[in-house]
Structure 1
Amino acid sequence: MPCGGGDIGLNVWVENGDLLMYFSRSGTFDENNTLLKLGRIRVHLTPNPLEGKIFKQELVLNEGYINITGSDGKQAARINIRADVFNPVFYIDINSDKPLTVKTSYESWRYRDNQMKGRENNQSSWKFAAPANTLTYADSVNFVNNTISFYHHNRDSTVFDAAVKQQGMQAVKGEMYNPLKNLTFGGVMSGKNMVAVGTNNGTYNKTQFKAWQLQSSKPVKQQAIQVTLYTKQCAAIKTWQAGLQQVLEKLAQTSATAKQKTIDWWHQYWQRSFIDIEPDNPQPDSANWQVGRNYQLFRYMLGCNAYGTSPTKFNGGLFTFDPSYTDTLYKFTPDFRNWGGGLATAQNQRLVYFPMLKSGDWDMLKPQFDFYLKTLHNAELRSKVYWNHKGASFTEQIENFGLPNYAEYGTKRPAGYDKGMEYNAWLEYEWDTVFQFCLMMLDEGQYSGKSISKYIPFMESCLTFYSEHYQYLAKQRGSKPLNGNGQLVLYPGSAAETYKMTYNSTTTIAALKTILSRLLELPNNYMNAESRTRWATMLAQIPPIAFSSFNGKQTIAPAQLWERINNQETPQLYPVFPWHIYGVGKPDLQTAINTYLYDTDAIKFRSHVGWKQDNIFAADLGLTAEAARLNTLKLKDSGRRFPAFWGPGFDWTPDHNWGGSGMIGLQEMLLQTDDKKIYLFPAWPATWDVHFKLRAPYNTTIEATLKGGKLTSLKVLPEERIKDVMNMLK
């Protein structure tokens, strides 16, 4: 069961009478760029009410904590587990009706160096290209004045250094952003009147560990355990220790009000937005009801990394667990997740963050946006070093320092191959996913009304790259930078990872047209006249989207031309989502519907699994029955003990791009917008009772109840926006 808040994630369970939990924090990347867990905690009670006949573990969503109760008939105990949203700390509070002895252990499988072997390297940025004898280095763990101190301090050489050298960026290394250098993370576990009682060794799920133990000095009815965390890039351990001490001192000063502030935050979080399906008839066996419940559960998981230093990862977020429970062949440590820790696959990552727009969780977009702002300069340096032109070159498999992944860049590259390119059949020439994050930035401004001026240079740099690079490539082939119509020649390109070596990819054209148009719609204070002229000129240079036909019906083509198919995405429908060029209430909707219904690749690739977004396409096209079918498959119970731990899909468990795409699809069934137009229930079955609250552009809130096929209540704020609402069920 997940628990957390702020930037802390806990996996909590009771096993053989012991309370156990993994704990993770955003941004804890080691030398290999593995997102390391911080450890495992075990709590044992003597005598032990948790071994009794009465047992209950409850995730209290409204206040963001876990409550565990147990009774053996003679003694009862209650354990409350909560993370502070505003401070790097979590608590385990134990209350018993009779005195008992509390023993808590900090368990580490990184008490010694671990050599990663074979597929285990997939947890890092080395992946399938790892050097021989690659190690996950040991942490430092010690007793300090009856507390347990633990930390990991990155050594001088990291995968950042290897990537810079591999990719020929040494000349500018000194000015590059490096998030791994001297990164130190860990914390301290403490408990009032608890004393150190030594260490022992053990094995959990075939992974050896060492345990450092604290025990209550005498039997107690109440025992509080506090785990305080600290992360900082600092060359000296003493500097990190001093910073941790400052956090402890601050917590001591604010402890009286901290708990209530966290509870209040969760209260307002659930009031921002919600989707309750069949609210008057909760039936756990009903697939419809599960869809609404699991939407809420997954949104809770996203809320646990609301304010992290790094984005919520698509391949498990903060809630991965022993990998053998996902795949029995993966007998690795709990640090394992497939597809890397600091590495972001942009196509997957976008699905985690798009749903935060309609849910009103705009403050939670910051970690993802900051990821790109921090790496912007490095991406611009790529263009300067390789091609001597301007603009930010963001690739698809991108590290948290803005360079391509070491393995995916290619370690066996042909002599003379363009150093700015990934030598990779799936990833070559795929640079346009970054525009989806540009779109989120623009949408945040439109939804919230807040200034997005700090994102304008980023968006302009991404556009500059496309303008300059494709004219650069054209001049490598011939004398003219544009075609005979005065348009950019977007070749070679890519339509997602699927249609490769494209000529005028539809994903790229839709992205460029949308971002350029939206930028030009911004108020004058965002750009000067010179910039506006430049972007208007570029917009006129974007070629049109290409079309095809199936069964004599016009459809959207993935590109004008392509050489091969490499994956199983459906980029011919990206003009529907995320670009919303086609959709309910928009021109030529039938062409997009034809693409969904008749394009043979679109049909062949259709699925609800993982990052597949057919559920979103169906909703945005107003295909109600199809949207209901696919979103039910997306969001029904996962089959695991926690119903929103979907996966592994194409990635890992819990699969966050599975959950994110499910959230988007459900939102789009209920509410779609076109500038100021608001379409209510555009793909919602009239037989599904629902009470929901979602956000729309221009700081608009929509709360509605559908019961028995009828709209029984509708609240629109501000009230004057009700004139823009169209009930599509009528």
Structure 2
Amino acid sequence: MPCGGGDVGLNVWVEQGDLLFYVSRSGVFDENNVVPKLGRVRVRLSPSPFEAGGSFQQELKLNEGYVEVTGKKGKLNVIIKVWIDVFKPVIHVDINGSSPVSAQAWYESWRTVPGELKGNARSASSYKWAKPGIAVFPDSVRYENNGVLFYHRNRDSTVFDAIVSQQKLEDVKSKLWNPLKNLTYGGWMAGTGMVADKVISGGKYADTPFTGFGLKSKSPSRNVKLNIYLHTDQQKDFAVWKKGLFEIVAKAEPTEWVKTLEWWKQYWQRSYIALNASNKDSASPVWQVGRNYQLFRYMLGCNAYGTYPTKFNGGLFTYDPVFVDSSYHFTADHRNWGGGIFTAQNQRLVYWPMLKSGDFEMMKPQFEFYLRILGNAEIRTQHYWGHKGASFTEQIENFGLPNYAEYGSKRPAGYDPGLEYNKWLEYLWDTSLEFCLMILDQQHFTGTDITRYLPLIESCVVFFDEHYQYLAAQRGAAKLDQNGHLVLFPGSAAETYKMAYNSVTTVAGLKIVLERMVALPSQYGSEAQRTHWKEILRRVPPLSFREMQGHRTIAPAQAWERIQNTEIPQLYPVFPYGIYGIGQPDLETAVNTWKYDTEAIKNRNHTSWHQDNIFCARLGLTEEAAALTIKKLQNSGRRFPAFWGPGHDWVPDHNWGGSGMIGLQEMLMQTHADSIYILPTWPDDWDVQFKLHAPLNTVVEGEWKGGKMVNLKVTPENRRNDVICSKCVANRF
């Protein structure tokens, strides 16, 4: 089961009497942009209450954010509490026995010697299939101060250097931000009353040989505390990194337990959705939806303060791949679709639900990710095409350049070096617009100052305005069409409609983001900037429509060359861009698109990043939304019920869980401008207690029970007049 806090995640389990856990942390990347585990820890007690013949229980204490393991054998009772300090990167293992026990602990590493990624194992790195063999450099592990010091320091040459060379950016290399250079990560494991023990080599867990560096109790005790202190930093001097690590050791205090408990308490009080809470039935798919919504939100909370956003393909909680795919005999560092690669189509679904759950501070890692790589995206635009704007391609590295493998190593002579030579990703620029809208939405929800992010938002829209005029000028004398609109060609509607003309995702994204920019309070942007935003908005072409089975529907583009993936971009004006929805004009056209577009029907799916449940919720299709939400959020079939996947990605599939959360929220509450629609797509027979956040610092709490609204509280009270509830008496409560 998962356990985490701050930016640290553990997979915790008990096996053959030993407590084990994998350690992960946000912002850890090796030379190949793999996100490696920081290691595995094994704890063994003597005498042990966990051996055969005793009683055993392991429980995730959700409200308090920790894992408790209890065992009883004979007269010996032991409670082990595993928790992570939310405010400092420190893992605590607190062991309390009814009588004295001796403890042994091992830091286990499978990276003490050089290795190599081959075959499908390469997909954990940024090189993926584009390099036959990928060298894995060893970590350093040794005893120090009666503890185990472990760390990895990236070598001078990393995938950053390979990508800069591949993508012909050597001339501007000195200007590019490089997060991998001198990156050092690791930690120190020590225990109270524990000393260094022997090293055990030749061990093997699942498919992976390992070496264990042991500690042991000097004498039996009723109370044993084992701590793992973590540190990550970019430093030229290793001594500076090491000093930083032991400063964390010196500042760690037991009193942080109280602060961590309080943080989790506030987290759960901030927002919740509980289904059929008064009638617990673990076999009921509807009850599972409510329970698993909370479990997945817990997993997101474990990376509240990460230096990098929670990864869509496993987050902090990946584990031995052989338990995902029996043919994958790789280390626990593995995940499909890379570690340092951020695929926006998937990442967005992890972060959208944080708006209505009120987890605004947790959105910062995703926003800061784009802000950090903004400079590199603008430099590549200027270098290749000589104009302004940030060109964010799909599948970008953590430094903002296209992924090594997806960019394409076998490219035709003379092919534009600014483009990915890739039939799935070519001309797919518009995914960054969703994160721009996410930032604008947070401002609308909270009133928080987003001045810091305005250059990012502006650069994203300026890119489209300047780049497509640039392309038009390469083809002919006119930069705009006869109506004064941009000609958004070549483009892409998601990865599905390729070489598109006026893609629906690009048009909708530009239209909504620019409208929201213009509507910002006057403190944002100068008069000249605002005039420019309005000019760009006027140049955005309209959406396109087509007739399908006798009904007017939204078209994926004005024209396209081919269809090749399974997305439904023609409904992106419904979600994320909200042009159509409850309480808005012409909803029928959007509903027709779901019902009658044969291409959309063919691509319906509930797994992984598919967002059909969200579409149906926003379209007011209650029966369909409920059925799809159950498929999204019912038990995963794995030991931990919210470890969904692999879907299209990996286990646990975080964009699967995120899209499930969004759909459930939208069934309960939708917002348009300042209006709040309660229970717009909610089944009468689903009892629910909820607390969600809405624009203008509004919180809505309610209970629907037995087909009636029995309680509704709106804070502040003056926002009650903006609440619309068609299920409530006289459409108002």
TM-score band, normalised by shorter chain: over 0.9
Q: Which residue does 2:204 correspond to in 1?
A: 203
Q: How far does the alpha carbon of each residue in 1:534-565 deviate from its partner, in whole angstroms, 9 at most, with x for none?
A: 11111111111000111211000000000001
Instruction: Please say if 1:334 is aligned against 2:335.
Output: no
- Deviation at residue 374 of structure 1 after TM alignment: 0.4
Q: How far does the alpha carbon of each residue in 1:98-132 deviate from its partner, in whole angstroms, 9 at most, with x for none?
A: 111100000001111111101111001001112x4
Instruction: Please say if 1:187 is aligned against 2:187.
Output: yes
Q: How far does the alpha carbon of each residue in 1:389-438 deviate from its partner, in whole angstroms, 9 at most, with x for none?
A: 01000001100000000000000000000000000000000000000000
Q: Which residue does 1:77 correspond to in 2?
A: 78
Q: How far does the alpha carbon of each residue in 1:28-56 deviate from its partner, in whole angstroms, 9 at most, with x for none?
A: 10000000110000001111101243111
- Deviation at residue 529 of structure 1 after TM alignment: 1.0
3-state DSSP of counterpart to 1:526:
coil
Task: Tell me how far apart the structure 2 counterparts of residues 248 and 324 of structure 1 sit (CA, whole Å).
Answer: 35
Q: Which residue does 2:442 correspond to in 1?
A: 444
Opposite residue 398 of structure 1, the aligned amino acid is: I
Question: Superposition pairs for residues 240-279 of structure 1, below 5 Å?
Answer: 240-251=241-252, 255-279=253-277
Q: Which residue does 1:554 correspond to in 2?
A: 552
Instruction: Please say if 1:50 is aligned against 2:39.
Output: no
Task: Tell me how far apart the structure 2 counterparts of residues 551 and 124 of structure 1 sit (CA, whole Å).
Answer: 45
- Deviation at residue 73 of structure 1 after TM alignment: 2.5
Tell me, which stretches of 5 or more residues in structure 1 are unaligned?
none
Q: Which residue does 2:453 correspond to in 1?
A: 455
Q: Which residue does 1:395 correspond to in 2?
A: 393
Question: Superposition pairs for residues 207-226 of structure 1, below 5 Å?
Answer: 207-226=208-227
Q: How far does the alpha carbon of each residue in 1:363-398 deviate from its partner, in whole angstroms, 9 at most, with x for none?
A: 000110111000000000111110000100000110
Task: Tell me how far apart the structure 2 counterparts of residues 272 and 396 of structure 1 sit (CA, whole Å).
Answer: 33
Task: Tell me how far apart the structure 1 counterparts of residues 246 and 73 of structure 2 sit (CA, whole Å).
Answer: 40
Task: Tell me how far apart the structure 1 counterparts of residues 254 and 7 of structure 2 sit (CA, whole Å).
Answer: 21
Task: Tell me how far apart the structure 2 counterparts of residues 190 and 402 of structure 1 sit (CA, whole Å).
Answer: 38
Task: Tell me how far apart the structure 2 counterparts of residues 451 and 195 of structure 1 sit (CA, whole Å).
Answer: 51
- Deviation at residue 487 of structure 1 after TM alignment: 0.5
- Deviation at residue 74 of structure 1 after TM alignment: 2.8
Q: Which residue does 1:228 correspond to in 2?
A: 229
Q: What is the TM-score of this pair, normalised by structure 1? A: 0.99
3-state DSSP of counterpart to 1:100:
strand
Q: Which residue does 2:354 correspond to in 1?
A: 356
Q: Which residue does 1:344 correspond to in 2?
A: 342
- Deviation at residue 133 of structure 1 after TM alignment: 3.6
- Deviation at residue 256 of structure 1 after TM alignment: 4.4
Q: How many residues align?
A: 726
3-state DSSP of counterpart to 2:424:
coil
Q: How far does the alpha carbon of each residue in 1:480-518 deviate from its partner, in whole angstroms, 9 at most, with x for none?
A: 100011100000000000000000000000000000000
Task: Tell me how far apart the structure 2 counterparts of residues 369 and 687 of structure 1 sit (CA, whole Å).
Answer: 39
3-state DSSP of counterpart to 2:247:
helix
Task: Tell me how far apart the structure 2 counterparts of residues 569 and 134 of structure 1 sit (CA, whole Å).
Answer: 32
Question: Superposition pairs for residues 123-138 of structure 1, below 5 Å?
Answer: 123-130=124-131, 132-138=132-138
Q: Which residue does 1:541 correspond to in 2?
A: 539
Q: How far does the alpha carbon of each residue in 1:238-266 deviate from its partner, in whole angstroms, 9 at most, with x for none?
A: 11111111111222xxx143111110000
3-state DSSP of counterpart to 1:350:
helix
Q: Which residue does 1:150 correspond to in 2?
A: 150
Q: Which residue does 1:63 correspond to in 2?
A: 64
Opposite residue 21 of structure 1, the aligned amino acid is: F
Q: How far does the alpha carbon of each residue in 1:591-642 deviate from its partner, in whole angstroms, 9 at most, with x for none?
A: 0000001111111111110000000000000100000000000000000000
Opposite residue 469 of structure 2, the aligned amino acid is: Q
Pick the aligned partner of 1:434 from 414, 425, 432. Answer: 432
Opposite residue 216 of structure 1, the aligned amino acid is: S
- Deviation at residue 234 of structure 1 after TM alignment: 1.0
- Greater mean alpha carbon deviation, residues 557-566 or residues 50-59: 50-59
Q: How far does the alpha carbon of each residue in 1:271-311 deviate from its partner, in whole angstroms, 9 at most, with x for none?
A: 11000000100110000000000000000000000000111
- Deviation at residue 532 of structure 1 after TM alignment: 1.0
Task: Tell me how far apart the structure 2 counterparts of residues 478 and 714 of structure 1 sit (CA, whole Å).
Answer: 60
Question: Superposition pairs for residues 394-543 of structure 1, below 5 Å?
Answer: 394-543=392-541
3-state DSSP of counterpart to 1:21:
strand
Q: Which residue does 1:647 correspond to in 2?
A: 645
Opposite residue 445 of structure 1, the aligned amino acid is: Q
Tell me, which stretches of 5 or more residues in structure 2 are unaligned?
729-733
Q: Which residue does 2:657 correspond to in 1?
A: 659
Q: Which residue does 2:117 correspond to in 1?
A: 116
Q: Which residue does 1:141 correspond to in 2?
A: 141
Q: Which residue does 1:677 correspond to in 2?
A: 675
Pick the aligned partner of 2:561 from 560, 563, 575. Answer: 563
Residues 74 and 257 of structure 1: is their aligned pair in 2 closer, same or farther, counting only changes over 3 Å? closer
- Deviation at residue 575 of structure 1 after TM alignment: 0.2
Q: Which residue does 2:293 correspond to in 1?
A: 295
Task: Tell me how far apart the structure 2 counterparts of residues 263 and 624 of structure 1 sit (CA, whole Å).
Answer: 38
Task: Tell me how far apart the structure 2 counterparts of residues 28 and 535 of structure 1 sit (CA, whole Å).
Answer: 38
Supply the RMSD in Å over aligned alpha carbons: 0.7
- Greater mean alpha carbon deviation, residues 483-492 or residues 192-201: 192-201
Task: Tell me how far apart the structure 2 counterparts of residues 162 and 205 of structure 1 sit (CA, whole Å).
Answer: 33
- Deviation at residue 728 of structure 1 after TM alignment: 2.4
Q: Which residue does 1:324 correspond to in 2?
A: 322
Task: Tell me how far apart the structure 2 counterparts of residues 675 and 281 of structure 1 sit (CA, whole Å).
Answer: 36
Opposite residue 607 of structure 2, the aligned amino acid is: V
Q: How far does the alpha carbon of each residue in 1:668-702 deviate from its partner, in whole angstroms, 9 at most, with x for none?
A: 00000111111000100010000000000000000
Task: Tell me how far apart the structure 2 counterparts of residues 512 and 344 of structure 1 sit (CA, whole Å).
Answer: 22
Task: Tell me how far apart the structure 1 counterparts of residues 249 and 173 of structure 2 sit (CA, whole Å).
Answer: 36
Task: Tell me how far apart the structure 1 counterparts of residues 684 and 134 of structure 2 sit (CA, whole Å).
Answer: 57
Q: How far does the alpha carbon of each residue in 1:69-110 deviate from its partner, in whole angstroms, 9 at most, with x for none?
A: 011123111100000000010100001111111000000011
Opposite residue 238 of structure 2, the aligned amino acid is: I
Task: Tell me how far apart the structure 1 counterparts of residues 70 and 663 of structure 2 sit (CA, whole Å).
Answer: 37
Opposite residue 248 of structure 2, the aligned amino acid is: V
Opposite residue 85 of structure 2, the aligned amino acid is: D
Task: Tell me how far apart the structure 1 counterparts of residues 547 and 133 of structure 2 sit (CA, whole Å).
Answer: 53
Q: Which residue does 1:587 correspond to in 2?
A: 585
Q: Which residue does 2:575 correspond to in 1?
A: 577
Runs (4+) of structure 1 moved beyond 4 Å? none
Task: Tell me how far apart the structure 1 counterparts of residues 476 and 382 of structure 2 sit (CA, whole Å).
Answer: 22
Opposite residue 174 of structure 1, the aligned amino acid is: S
- Deviation at residue 312 of structure 1 after TM alignment: 0.2
Opposite residue 311 of structure 2, the aligned amino acid is: K
Task: Tell me how far apart the structure 2 counterparts of residues 511 and 314 of structure 1 sit (CA, whole Å).
Answer: 22
Q: Which residue does 2:28 correspond to in 1?
A: 28
Opposite residue 222 of structure 2, the aligned amino acid is: K
Opposite residue 586 of structure 2, the aligned amino acid is: D
Task: Tell me how far apart the structure 1 counterparts of residues 207 and 121 of structure 2 sit (CA, whole Å).
Answer: 15
Q: How far does the alpha carbon of each residue in 1:569-610 deviate from its partner, in whole angstroms, 9 at most, with x for none?
A: 000000000000000110000000000011111111111100
Task: Tell me how far apart the structure 2 counterparts of residues 473 and 281 of structure 1 sit (CA, whole Å).
Answer: 61
- Deviation at residue 332 of structure 1 after TM alignment: 0.2
Opposite residue 20 of structure 1, the aligned amino acid is: L
Pick the aligned partner of 1:284 from 269, 277, 282. Answer: 282
Q: Which residue does 1:10 correspond to in 2?
A: 10
Q: How far does the alpha carbon of each residue in 1:120-169 deviate from its partner, in whole angstroms, 9 at most, with x for none?
A: 11001001112x44211110000112100000000000000000010011
